[in-house]
Structure 1
């Protein structure tokens, strides 16, 4: 997708906005224009991202768990609670994902060195190969998707989204 510097062509949300302005001139529908476009972009991006994960035999959730383990550093292990905290998924949801990944031979569970009651989820060598290949393709895909914007627009969008997210979310407990 080449970066475009021309005026955008009217889209579906322009039509929806025009119809609402005609029917409800008393309301400012600009938020619908912004949020509607953001929602549509998010749906398109999700489809593009999931397609890459699927090429590696992964669901979006599988990728998330494997990536969380991989970026933990050697020995690429975390507790299910840790994974939940780093993926914003409940520990029950993480357990289901880990069960699936364990059946696929991508992770194992082991007893924690410092607490015999605790279990750690660890990447297998095959799991590390899969997430490394998937992440490489994922980053190439994200670069391709971001190429629809100029570098300056991408920087501006990142700043705007960071500000907006800060207003909507609690800051992370740890960096």
Structure 2
């Protein structure tokens, strides 16, 4: 059984045998793995709780944040790697669902602090063990040593980019 990246590389090898296809094949697998993790494995779990991936990410970021008063939308935007417009829409949906609240910033009148409501806190506390189990299940074909190696290689790739 071959994956999409292998099939594409095999086709390119016939069409353009002069090309070095290793990087394309590797990045293709990385991209496909990301899609499978996000859409196929994580999305159904979050959907059971009425959330999308980005909303889960916001709630998880708020839960692990050291600031008890909450985080600004800018801090959330930077921590979750999404656009500022995307952040506003997510915050609006989470607030409407009663999972977060926005309050005044103590030193910056232009900013608001975002924090989990008790309902949001309870939801993320319930979801995190399920999220972690799903992550472990997804990586179960790899040993812990292989997982650590993969993590280190991906960190090095990200740093280089």
TM-score (norm 2): 0.89
Gaps of at least 5 residues in structure 2 are none
Gaps of at least 5 residues in structure 1 are 1-8, 169-175
Count of residues paired in the alignment: 160
Kindly state the Cα deviation for residue 161 of structure 1 after the two structures are TM-superposed.
0.5
User: Does the alignment pair 1:32 with 2:7?
Assistant: no
Q: Are residues 90 and 14 of structure 1, via their aligned partners in 2, closer, same or farther at CA, if it must alter by over 3 Å? A: closer
Question: Which has the greater radius of gyration?
Answer: 1
Q: Are residues 27 and 56 of structure 1, via their aligned partners in 2, closer, same or farther at CA, if it must alter by over 3 Å? A: same
Kindly state the Cα deviation for residue 106 of structure 1 after the two structures are TM-superposed.
0.6
The Cα RMSD (Å) is: 1.8
Higher relative helix content: 2
TM-score (norm 1): 0.83
User: Does the alignment pair 1:53 with 2:46?
Assistant: yes
Q: Does the 8 A contact of 2:72 with 2:114 survive in 1? A: yes
- Counterpart position of 1:139: 132
User: Does the alignment pair 1:152 with 2:145?
Assistant: yes
Kindly state the Cα deviation for residue 140 of structure 1 after the two structures are TM-superposed.
0.7
The structure with higher relative contact order (CA 8 Å, sep 6+) is 1
